[in-house]
Amino acid sequence: MDQFQNHNQNGYQQQNQLAEPVSFKEWMITILLCAIPIVNIIMLFVWAFGGNTKISKSNYAKASLLWAAIGIVLYIFIFLLFGAAMIAGFSEMGNYSY
């Protein structure tokens, strides 16, 4: 029975620790790592889906990844839209004779 209580207390302590707010120092390190190309993407995935990350940092990483995905989709959409418009414009230029 003692083992079960210790396990529950350890689980509760770990859960409590993950619910604590992220300190100023941790945010400074987080922002620094997010400024480094390629490292930022890897770390965002680790923080978002790793099991031992504080809840607020995990939510921040998930939101950042979602915004990045939205940005990529919009970029591709705009690129295709303008690309199609340019192709249509160039094909129309060939139909005019001076």
At 17 the pLDDT is: 82
Q: What is the pLDDT of residues 17-73, one digit of tens each?
A: 888 899 999 999 999 999 999 999 999 999 999 989 999 999 999 999 999 999 999
At 57 the pLDDT is: 95
Whether the per-residue pLDDT at 92 is higher than 70: the answer is: yes
At 91 the pLDDT is: 82
49-85 core/surface letters (b: 16 or more CB in 10 A; e: else): eeeebbeebbebbeebbeeeeeeeeeeeeeeeeeeee
Average pLDDT over residues 71-80: 97
Average pLDDT over residues 3-29: 76
At 30 the pLDDT is: 95
Task: Count CB-CB contacts under 10 A for residue 44.
Answer: 20
